[in-house]
């Protein structure tokens, strides 16, 4: 555990005389102060600057040191050696204020009548006294909060104790900036804290959080005069959340800063334990869900018992939701998995969640009288949250029908997979589709395993497909657009961005190559049906549901 330190703001609030003004360099108020020094009237200007010092400077004494010097030059030289702030007595130029802002070095002006030497000595005593006090208090807090963490009290208890120690409202937030526990019931305060989530996430992404000594930063909170001291919860793979206390700025002293840092360290132990439990559960849940989705479990009875141990009841209604994002995104799965788990937890929906074959799958157990619309709304909420958490707007979702028992999970999963592929193919990425709403595709899907379906497809359009593969003539694509345009060559040309004569030529080639008559209603029906069969067969091949039949181009 490193020694607790003061910040420039702590020195300003705690020891500098009332009426001391901050003229510039406010961006450096959180910098740590290790010691105090004073300007000398003979070289060197400051004795043994090692870094982290606040300097006390009578402006009139600068010319006594060297008549060529001014305050901006002194500040620049002091900053190069590691100085963090300057407190001055006397008039300050506009150039000095600009230099303070540029260097992010707080420039503080002491009230008239204050001697810089007296202020310097008082500041040194303050730093020494605070170090001793803070070191003793740090040890007490470390032992007390670590006892809670090692005893498995949970982050909520740690935060409650933090609030008692500081006598301030306290909260912990997850890595997304959502408040998971606030020690007071105050909806306005809750909204104010969550409103700063974006700033917290940005900060968390730029710092290196050390478990024994996480950094602390002050943020403005909603209302005037209200601020928060925030420390990240350090984890093995980055920031696992945030701990904060909230109050008026003058109450956010170094004890509060110290307590927040120690609470964040204690929460890190709790989060590590919870993450280990979660990872173990995710692994068991993932293995079990994989057996359900593939039908590889030994018996219905065994599957029901394993589900019961995971807190799930598969003896009645079940439905499967499947989601996928961009194939090229390796980070999509873990982020989408956490987002789906968070939605399930918040909505208190009975569901098992795991990844399977580059998808996130939810085995949902709806209420017996649950409305279909409610299931659709829940599915869309999961899709939108996964898209938001991953930043992937192409996240698509398929929803299978409700079936009964463990054996129904596999059927619902196959339906969800098909609905997902049909959604991407027919509606485009970033959409939701339910198998129950697929119409003709649903009927063809039920026949997809029957060889007669692919035989019918090859017998009807096999020659067109073969011609396309040989010459890239795009006859099948032209045929699809032709039917979408209700048989209008002009509209087909517009859809394909071609000249109308090119479309007419392709239509003649379709009739010649396939030995077909497009003006025959029965032929048109057969061709239209084959285009929908192609959607189903390509979808099944894309997901490995069945071998891709000869003559069906890959999707």
Give SS3 for 245. strand
Residue 166 has a pLDDT of 84
Do residues 53 and 129 lie in contact, with contact meaning Cβ atoms separated by under 8 Å?
Answer: no
Q: Are 441 and 332 in contact (CB under 8 A)?
A: no
**What pLDDT score does 471 carry?**
87
Contact 516, 502 (CB under 8 A): no
Low-confidence ranges of the chain (pLDDT < 50): 1-2, 541-555
CB burial string 235-270: b at 16+ within 10 A, e below: beeebbbbbbbbbeeeebbbbbbbbbbbbbbbbbbb
Q: Is the N-terminal amide bond of 395 cis, ω within 30° of 0?
A: no
Distances (CA, A) of 410 to 53, 107, 300: 67, 68, 12
Q: Is 362 helix (H, G, I), strand (E, B) or coil?
A: strand
pLDDT in tens, 444-467: 766 666 777 778 788 888 888 888
Domains and CATH numbers, the chain: 6-128 (3.40.1390.20), 151-275 (3.30.450.30), 295-437 (3.30.70.270), 445-542 (1.10.10.2840)
Q: At what angle do helices 451-471 and 500-514 cross, to 10 degrees?
A: 130
137 by Cβ neighbours in 10 Å (0-12 / 13-18 / 19+) ranks as middle
Residue 51's SS3 state is coil
Spatial contact of 59 and 92, defined as CB atoms under 8 Å apart: yes
Q: What is the pLDDT of residue 114?
A: 92
Q: What is the pLDDT of residues 24-75, one digit of tens each?
A: 999 999 898 989 999 988 888 888 888 999 999 999 999 888 888 899 999 9
Which of the 8 DSSP states describes residue 244?
E
Separation between Cα atoms, residue 497 and residue 490, nearest integer Å: 10
Return the closest-CA partner of residue 461 out of 449, 443, 478, 442.
478
Give the Cα separation of 150 and 384 in Å (integer).
38
What are phi and psi for residue 109, nearest 5 degrees? Answer: -105, 125
3-state secondary structure of 488: coil
Q: What is the pLDDT of residue 551?
A: 46
Residues 59 and 464: their CA atoms lie apart, in Å, by 90
pLDDT at 6: 81
């Amino acid at each position: 555990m490193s020694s607790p330190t003061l910040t420039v703001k702590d020195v300003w609030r705690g020891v500098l005389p009332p009426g001391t003004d901050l003229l510039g360099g406010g961006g450096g108020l959180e910098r740590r102060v290790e010691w105090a020094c004073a300007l000398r009237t003979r070289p060197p200007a400051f004795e043994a600057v090692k870094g982290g010092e606040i300097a006390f400077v009578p402006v009139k004494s600068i010319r006594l040191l060297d008549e060529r010097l001014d305050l901006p030059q002194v500040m620049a030289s002091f900053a190069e050696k590691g100085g963090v702030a300057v407190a001055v007595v006397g008039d300050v130029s506009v150039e000095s204020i600009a230099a303070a802002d540029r260097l992010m070095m707080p420039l503080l002006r002491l009230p008239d009548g204050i001697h810089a030497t007296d202020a310097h000595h008082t500041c040194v005593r303050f730093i020494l006294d605070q170090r001793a006090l803070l070191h003793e208090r740090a040890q007490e807090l470390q032992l007390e909060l670590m006892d809670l963490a090692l005893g498995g009290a949970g982050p909520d208890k740690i935060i409650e104790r933090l609030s008692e120690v500081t006598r301030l409202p306290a909260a912990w937030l997850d890595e997304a900036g959502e408040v998971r526990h606030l020690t007071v019931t105050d909806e306005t305060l809750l909204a104010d804290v969550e409103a700063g989530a974006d700033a917290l996430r940005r900060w968390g992404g730029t710092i290196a959080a050390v478990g024994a000594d996480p950094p602390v930063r002050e943020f403005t909170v909603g209302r005037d005069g209200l601020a928060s001291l925030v420390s990240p919860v350090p984890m093995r793979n980055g920031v696992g959340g945030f701990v904060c206390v909230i109050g008026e700025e003058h109450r956010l002293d170094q004890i509060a800063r110290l307590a927040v840092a120690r609470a964040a360290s204690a929460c890190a132990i709790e989060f590590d334990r919870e993450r280990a439990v979660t990872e173990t559960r995710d692994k068991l849940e993932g293995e079990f869900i994989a057996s359900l989705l593939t039908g590889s479990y030994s018996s219905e009875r065994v599957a029901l018992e394993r589900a019961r141990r995971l807190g799930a009841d598969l003896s009645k209604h079940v439905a499967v939701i499947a989601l996928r994002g961009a194939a090229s995104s390796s980070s999509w799965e873990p982020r989408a998995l956490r987002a789906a788990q968070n939605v399930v937890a918040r909505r208190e929906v009975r569901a098992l969640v795991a990844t399977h074959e580059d998808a996130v799958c939810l085995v949902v157990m709806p209420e017996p009288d649950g409305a279909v619309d409610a299931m659709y709304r829940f599915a869309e909420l999961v899709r939108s949250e996964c898209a938001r958490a991953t930043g992937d707007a192409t996240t698509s979702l398929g929803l299978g029908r409700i079936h009964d028992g463990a054996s129904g999970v596999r059927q619902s999963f196959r339906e969800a997979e098909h609905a997902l592929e049909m959604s991407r193919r027919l509606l485009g990425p970033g959409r939701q589709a339910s198998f129950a709403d697929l119409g003709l595709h649903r009927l063809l899907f039920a026949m997809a395993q029957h060889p007669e379906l692919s035989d019918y497809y090859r017998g009807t359009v096999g020659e067109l497909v073969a011609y396309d593969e040989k010459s890239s003539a795009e006859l099948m694509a032209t045929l699809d657009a032709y039917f979408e345009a209700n048989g209008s060559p002009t509209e087909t040309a517009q859809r394909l961005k071609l000249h109308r004569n090119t479309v007419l030529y392709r239509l003649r080639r379709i009739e010649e190559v396939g030995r077909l008559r497009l003006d025959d209603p029965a032929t048109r029906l057969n061709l239209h049906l084959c285009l929908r069969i192609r959607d189903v067969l390509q979808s099944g091949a894309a997901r490995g549901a069945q071998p891709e039949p000869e003559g069906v181009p890959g999707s």
